[in-house]
Structure 1
Amino acid sequence: MYRTAPVRIGAFGAFVLAGALVLTGCSSDTPEDSAAAADAAKPAPGLLPAAEGSTSYPLELESPWGSTTLEERPERIAAITPSQDDVEALVAIGVTPILVSEDQTDVWVQRELDQEIEGRFSVTDGGFNVEQIAAADPDLIVVLGADVSADYDKLAAIAPVLSTATTSEGESSVANDWATSITALGEALDLSEAADRALETEEEFFADFRAEHPEFDGKTASYVVYYGAESGLQYHSTPDSPAGLTLSRMGFEPSDNASELEYRAVISNEMLSAIDADVVIFSDNSDGHHADLTDSALFQALSAVKNDALVIVENHSVDGYFVIDGTEYDGNLSWGLARSGPLSSTWAAEQMAPALADVLGAE
């Protein structure tokens, strides 16, 4: 059974510590304070589940930019991928990283954590904040699917680096290969069985979901995101996109024109008919200006609109909530649909299910 979408009571409290890394530990001349500082520097209990005994160390970690070696099982893991895919993958197998981006406040991650994350690092346009990463004293740095060519040597000087990127240019598919990422993490952390369970849990969730929503089976769905008049309407549900994969696992089929459109293709007014489907999910990221488009004659001509099968999601990502049919919910649904991870995809499906069932006439 999957969890239903929680109705928002107050704005989601993002615990961002801007620009500063929160780390315990100090120095003192007294023996008591020295002992306390030493204890504070030790790994917090419960950061990782118990070792399974399937991984042998030392373990070589290969990447397009070089290799590093894990001499023993790591305990303090820094998750530094800009998209925060690594945080989601780690938490999905029961691991609490000791360092993540200050922007990491995703509801689907927070609800699975059983303890606070120790440190936060500030994000800059110039690349990884190597100094803050080093200050956290990690014994493994995880960066999934991202290009670290400019910083790999600096990161490797801090701790072994686990990367799932496949080319030195950092090229990757539209959707992260979660099975590859979680499997690699499971091996490195001696949690291969936990990694398998995470993938199985996700499959079981969607199997149960489809059984409970037969009204979605075989229906076509489009997911579009509106960024306002300047950036326009973008198509986000090509078959290999994160949203497209999530919708498919919910039981939907791609829209008739999905294979002819590119991921994040800008849809002009003249092309609006290309997004038509049995149901259209419209994410408004324009600060409430979606009516400029949705009230237009061309948009109103869509069969999904005529059949009352349009679901509008009003995103208020800065304040940490979204609105469907006048009801507020915690989280950033647009971001969840942009991920397709083991936690984000199931969370996004939960959030959309009631509205989609309503417009498709679930009994």
Structure 2
Amino acid sequence: MKTSVRGFTALGAAAIAVTALVSCSSDSGTSTTSQGTDGFPVSIENTFGTTTIDSKPERLVTLGWNAQDILYALDLTPVGQPKYTYGADDNGVMPWAQDYFDADKTTLFDMPASGEPPIESIASLTPDVILAPYEGFEESVYNQLSKIAPTAAYPGAAWQTSWQDQTRIVGKAVGKSEEAEKLVDGLDATLADTAAAHPEFAGKTLAVVNFDTDSSNINVYLPTDPRVQVLTELGFVNAPGVEKLAADNAGGSFFKTISYENIADIDADVIVGFTDGSGDPSGIPAVGGLDAVKRGSTAFLSDTRVIGGLSNVNVLSTPWVLGQITPTLSEAAKRTTA
């Protein structure tokens, strides 16, 4: 199975970091009224308008990638969330969320191949709120979802809400803004500590690429994509060619498709590549000719769990995935000065 553009559709120190982050939200139990300063109703802006949640929601349904992980980190359990296929364990749950998932409390629903939310399945869960601060869908879908329950949709461009803003949106929607802010501070600290422990990352140029050796094109992730943002928070900077693609990105997408013959334009000190199902792209002449490939300063990722982890950037998944990729990133970065 090849990695999709979205990437959806690896533990020691990382596990300790997860525990530290989650403990920020769970020390005082689960009662919203006793924990936070949020009062209801609350209003949350999104790309389609404003969502108002009149009272504390109890039945929480999430769409797509990150909202359920944020709920788990806030010591809450959704009544429904999508079933994962790419990178997931056999039960349809990502590896970093296994200790939180309870099949008796949370229903997994299938996402259609079209990517649009399964309206009937969601409605059958009778949610009080639908959390989708990252997933891209049209206004017509938002209107359908809003007829079921208040829907906290993405606030700007689809698939480009930062992990920080996703955390804050979910926290506000469930009355736990204070706890959500602690989670943001916790992951910020984890990223800063990782960067400090790896000065070889600082200032090295970066390109994050989805390879498909069966195609004549590659997809380059742009600076507004959270998986790029989390790597730059470690000290990397976007390669000039990636910045140029972003400047020319009239459509406002989180990625840009370019041909293999133009891949030299985005050469970087370090290239992070998703290669699942495509084999090693180094055998393609244009790829093999890159300076990063010649010196071995690449991090080609083929494990779908790791690719899924880097593609699901949130307060629960990111400490886990840092435990998987940091040694590889370090080795690649050190080779730029070898």
TM range (shorter): 0.7 to 0.9
Is the Cα contact below 8 Å between 2:218 and 2:260 reproduced in 1?
A: no
Q: Does residue 175 of structure 1 match 2:163?
A: no
SS at match of 2:200: helix
**Larger RCO, structures 1/2 (Cα 8 Å, 6+ apart):** 2
Q: Measured at CA, do residues 267 and 348 of structure 1 come closer, stay the same or move farther in structure 2, by a change above 3 Å?
A: farther
Matches within 5 A, 1:1-363: 3-4=12-13, 49-51=30-32, 52-59=35-42, 64=48, 67-71=51-55, 73-79=56-62, 81=63, 83-103=64-84, 105-111=93-99, 113=100, 115-116=102-103, 117-124=105-112, 125=114, 127-145=116-134, 146-147=136-137, 149-152=139-142, 154-158=144-148, 160-166=149-155, 172=157, 174-230=159-215, 232-236=217-221, 238-262=222-246, 263-285=254-276, 287-290=277-280, 293-314=281-302, 322=303, 332-361=305-334
Matching residue's letter, 1:75: E
Matching residue's letter, 1:76: R
Instruction: For residue 133 of structure 1, report the CA deviation from its aligned partner.
Output: 2.1
TM-score (norm 2): 0.75
Matching residue's letter, 2:185: E
Q: Which runs of 5+ in 2 are unaligned?
A: 1-10, 16-28, 85-91, 247-253
Matching residue's letter, 2:327: P
SS at match of 1:96: coil
* Alpha-carbon distance in structure 1 between the residues aligned to 2:140 and 2:78: 23
Cα deviation digits, residues 20-63 of structure 1 (max 9, x gap): xxxxxxxxxxxxxxxxxxxxxxxxxxxx8222252223445666
Higher helix share: 2
Of 135-144 and 244-253, the range deviating more from structure 2 = 135-144
Based on CA coordinates, which of the two structures has the bigger radius of gyration?
Answer: 1
* Alpha-carbon distance in structure 1 between the residues aligned to 2:110 and 2:218: 31
* Alpha-carbon distance in structure 2 between the residues aligned to 1:126 and 1:208: 36
Q: Measured at CA, do residues 214 and 153 of structure 1 come closer, stay the same or move farther in structure 2, by a change above 3 Å?
A: closer
* Alpha-carbon distance in structure 1 between the residues aligned to 2:226 and 2:111: 24
Q: Measured at CA, do residues 264 and 126 of structure 1 come closer, stay the same or move farther in structure 2, by a change above 3 Å?
A: closer
Instruction: For residue 156 of structure 1, report the CA deviation from its aligned partner.
Output: 4.0
Matching residue's letter, 1:242: P
Q: Measured at CA, do residues 154 and 254 of structure 1 come closer, stay the same or move farther in structure 2, by a change above 3 Å?
A: closer
Per the alignment, residue 26 of structure 2 pairs with: none
* Alpha-carbon distance in structure 2 between the residues aligned to 1:248 and 1:215: 13
Per the alignment, residue 317 of structure 1 pairs with: none
Q: Measured at CA, do residues 126 and 92 of structure 1 come closer, stay the same or move farther in structure 2, by a change above 3 Å?
A: closer
Cα deviation digits, residues 87-127 of structure 1 (max 9, x gap): 2332232221110112252223335x264452122222384
Of 196-205 and 333-342, the range deviating more from structure 2 = 333-342
Instruction: For residue 221 of structure 1, report the CA deviation from its aligned partner.
Output: 2.1
Is the Cα contact below 8 Å between 1:88 and 1:342 reproduced in 2?
A: yes
Instruction: For residue 212 of structure 1, report the CA deviation from its aligned partner.
Output: 1.4
Matching residue's letter, 2:228: G
Q: Which runs of 5+ in 1 are unaligned?
A: 7-47, 315-321, 323-330
* Alpha-carbon distance in structure 2 between the residues aligned to 1:310 and 1:67: 43
* Alpha-carbon distance in structure 1 between the residues aligned to 2:14 and 2:38: 38
* Alpha-carbon distance in structure 2 between the residues aligned to 1:157 and 1:297: 53
* Alpha-carbon distance in structure 2 between the residues aligned to 1:58 and 1:301: 58
Is the Cα contact below 8 Å between 1:65 and 1:152 reproduced in 2?
A: no
Matching residue's letter, 2:140: A
* Alpha-carbon distance in structure 2 between the residues aligned to 1:161 and 1:243: 28
Is the Cα contact below 8 Å between 1:61 and 1:162 reproduced in 2?
A: no
Instruction: For residue 69 of structure 1, report the CA deviation from its aligned partner.
Output: 4.1
Instruction: For residue 241 of structure 1, report the CA deviation from its aligned partner.
Output: 2.1
Q: Measured at CA, do residues 269 and 114 of structure 1 come closer, stay the same or move farther in structure 2, by a change above 3 Å?
A: closer
* Alpha-carbon distance in structure 1 between the residues aligned to 2:204 and 2:45: 43
* Alpha-carbon distance in structure 2 between the residues aligned to 1:245 and 1:99: 28
Instruction: For residue 197 of structure 1, report the CA deviation from its aligned partner.
Output: 0.8
TM-score (norm 1): 0.70
Is the Cα contact below 8 Å between 1:65 and 1:149 reproduced in 2?
A: no
Q: Measured at CA, do residues 301 and 141 of structure 1 come closer, stay the same or move farther in structure 2, by a change above 3 Å?
A: closer
* Alpha-carbon distance in structure 2 between the residues aligned to 1:337 and 1:312: 13
Matching residue's letter, 2:232: S
Instruction: For residue 305 of structure 1, report the CA deviation from its aligned partner.
Output: 2.0
- Aligned sequence identity (%): 24
